[in-house]
Homo-oligomer: A and B are copies of this chain.
Amino acid sequence: MTVCIWGVGTSSFGRQPDRLPAELAWEAVNEALEDAAVDGVDAAYVGTVFGAPGVAQRALWGVGITGIPIITVENACASGTTALHEAREAILAGRFERVLALGVEHISTLFEGPIAPEATDPEQASGLLLPALYALSASRHMADHGTTASDLAQVAVKNSTHGALNPRAQRRRAVTEEEVLASRPIAEPLTLFQCAGLSDAAAAAVLGPARRGERDIPIRASALRSGEAWDQDSEHVWGFDIVRATAGDAFEEAGLGPHDADVVELHDAFTIGELVTIEALGLVGEGEAAARVRAGELSLGGTQPVNPSGGLLSRGHPLGATGLAQVAELVWQLRGDAGDRQVEGARTALVETMGGGAAGLDGNGCVVAILGG
């Protein structure tokens, strides 16, 4: 059996402190149910990182979804795609026919700047918050591969150019390299425009077995892993190994390789994250990502567009909702419904989400899925 995505939906993205998480979920779920042309589901997996206990039940009751199994999952920034992964597995196992995968996050009222340390996490208490962890990756990547501050900024230039075409993006203005480098320093060498913005949002997908018609998008493969320990002696920068291993699982299941994806949505919470992930996925060789971004190969109109939505950098990063927002973008791309940012002829798509801190003290998780023909 092949599990398909029948429909997708998202709420608006942005800082929406005055709206309830449930309201955001209603927008996303109603759009996904309508897109899937169903009036209910048999189970729901709901991804959230900082959502209050019960947020899933509160949200789903409002759209009439009660009485079925509702299971909330957390897997850091990969929580949304973890919900997708578990929903697909539940259908493959024959447990349910129609399953909702929902991601919801309301964090603008919880954090002002970077996400604050957890009281019981010694890694974070030392100051190694996510911007700092990604900054370490950037410095290491610069030392290993000659990556420059300009190279990092070019990722933000590319994704903001894409995001300007995305009516659902939180940031819709194309920025220049000069603007990126002149924006406020966050963690050397990362500047403000290289960091995804805090966002309140929800995103949803309805999954089920294949039906007639061309609107349903098959999930060819999905893989999930948690990270091995990482420290300064590791061969690669933080995050590389888990993305490579998880992608390897997904490519094996699909019988495809990295160059078979016509379009990619990946986890650019910070610019360096996109460069590392492009290399870890095998889209380009190690150390080659910066040059390929600069050459335009990964832009809309290039050979293998990455983050045509504008990525997390433009769309915003509502943690638990992010993975399913990526999936929604790819469903629109594969249907030819992506408007001004359409990747022409896209038939196969790859989504990658990776989150968490350095394995060992904070752990991380990754999901890679391959959608389409």
- Which residues of A approach B to under 8 Å, CB–CB? 20-22, 49-50, 52-58, 60-61, 66-76, 82, 86, 89-90, 92-95, 106, 109, 118-121, 224-229, 245, 356-357, 359-365
Determine whether the beta carbon of B89 is less than 8 Å from that of A57: no
A226 in contact with B58 given A50-B53, A89-B95, A93-B92 (CB within 8 Å): no
> Can you give 15 A-B contacts (C-beta < 8 A)?
A52-B118, A52-B119, A52-B120, A57-B227, A57-B362, A60-B363, A61-B229, A61-B363, A66-B228, A66-B359, A67-B228, A71-B224, A73-B73, A73-B74, A93-B95
Determine whether the beta carbon of A75 is less than 8 Å from that of B72: yes
Question: What's the Cα separation between A92 and B247 when bound, in Å?
Answer: 25
* A323 → chain B closest CB, angstroms: 13
Q: Which residues of B contact A359 (CB under 8 A)?
A: 57, 61, 66
Determine whether the beta carbon of A73 is less than 8 Å from that of B72: yes
Determine whether the beta carbon of B362 is less than 8 Å from that of A66: no
* A2 → chain B closest CB, angstroms: 16
* A105 → chain B closest CB, angstroms: 11
* A39 → chain B closest CB, angstroms: 17
Question: What's the Cα separation between A58 and B121 when bound, in Å?
Answer: 8
Q: Which residues of B contact A245 (CB under 8 A)?
A: 67
Determine whether the beta carbon of B53 is less than 8 Å from that of A76: yes
Question: What's the Cα separation between A55 and B49 when bound, in Å?
Answer: 11
Q: Which residues of B contact A67 (CB under 8 A)?
A: 225-228, 245
A361 in contact with B73 given A52-B118, A227-B66 (CB within 8 Å): no
Cβ 8 A contact of A54, one of B72, B76, B225:
B76
Question: What's the Cα separation between A210 and B60 when bound, in Å?
Answer: 37
Interface centre among A50, A72, A90, A229 (most CB of B within 10 A): A72
Question: What's the Cα separation between A182 and B120 when bound, in Å?
Answer: 38
Question: What's the Cα separation between A260 and B227 when bound, in Å?
Answer: 44
A226 in contact with B66 given A54-B356, A362-B57 (CB within 8 Å): yes
Chain B residue at minimum C-beta to C-beta distance from A55: B120
Chain B residue at minimum C-beta to C-beta distance from A83: B71
Question: What's the Cα separation between A357 and B245 when bound, in Å?
Answer: 40
Determine whether the beta carbon of A72 is less than 8 Å from that of B69: no
Interface centre among A21, A61, A94, A357 (most CB of B within 10 A): A61
Determine whether the beta carbon of B86 is less than 8 Å from that of A71: yes
In the complex, besides A71-B75, A71-B82, A71-B86, 15 extra interface pairs with C-beta distance below 8 angstroms are A53-B76, A54-B362, A56-B363, A57-B227, A58-B361, A58-B363, A60-B226, A61-B229, A66-B227, A66-B360, A67-B225, A67-B226, A67-B227, A67-B228, A93-B93
Q: Which residues of B contact A22 (CB under 8 A)?
A: 120
Question: What's the Cα separation between A355 and B170 when bound, in Å?
Answer: 36
A226 in contact with B75 given A109-B119, A363-B58, A363-B60 (CB within 8 Å): no
